[in-house]
């Protein structure tokens, strides 16, 4: 293991300490390792958009809007090679949460995730991609 020493200004250090506390890191080193891993993951995807990845796509939508439900299902079926599994949770009478596990080339996974999130009727969502 290598030891690195860094210097940062006081305001940035205070913000970083707040981040460490809010995420319950046991020490600064673990927080820095996670930040570096995250940035390297983004860089790998940017340099090799066809690199294999896995992703979790989570989104909220109104399942009573049948056209939204059908469009979301069609997108997943049209990309069945990328879609590994999905979990559907009924949060309220009309609000559902869905998590879809995706696997494939990063550019294709990102494209499908963004298409689903952009669908009319999807209220909120996020794609978490791991190279």
90 marked ligand binding residue: yes
Alpha carbon distances (Å) from 65 to 59, 69, 92 = 15, 7, 14
Residue linked to tokens 């056209």? 67
* Strand bridging mode 122-130 / 83-90: unpaired
128 is in an annotated binding site: no
Is 88 labelled as part of a ligand binding site?
A: yes
Beta bridge partners of 89: 97
53 annotated as belonging to a binding site for a ligand: no
DSSP per residue, 56-69:
EEEEEEETT-HHHH
Q: Which of 29, 108, 105 is nearest to 75 (CA)?
A: 108
| Residues making up the binding site | 77, 88, 90, 96
| Residues making up the binding site for Ni(2+) | 77, 88, 90, 96
């Amino acid at each position: 293991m290598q030891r690195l020493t860094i210097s940062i200004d006081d305001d940035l250090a205070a913000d970083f300490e707040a981040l460490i506390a809010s995420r319950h890191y046991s020490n600064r080193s673990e927080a820095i390792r996670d930040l570096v891993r995250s940035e390297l993951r983004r860089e790998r995807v940017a340099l090799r958009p066809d690199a294999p990845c896995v992703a979790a796509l989570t989104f909220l939508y109104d399942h009573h809007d049948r056209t939204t439900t059908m469009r979301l299902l069609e997108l997943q079926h049209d990309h069945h090679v990328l879609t590994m599994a999905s979990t559907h949770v009924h949060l309220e009478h009309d609000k559902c949460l869905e998590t879809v596990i995706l696997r494939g080339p990063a550019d294709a996974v990102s494209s499908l995730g963004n298409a689903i999130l952009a669908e009319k009727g999807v209220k909120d969502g996020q794609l978490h991609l791991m190279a």
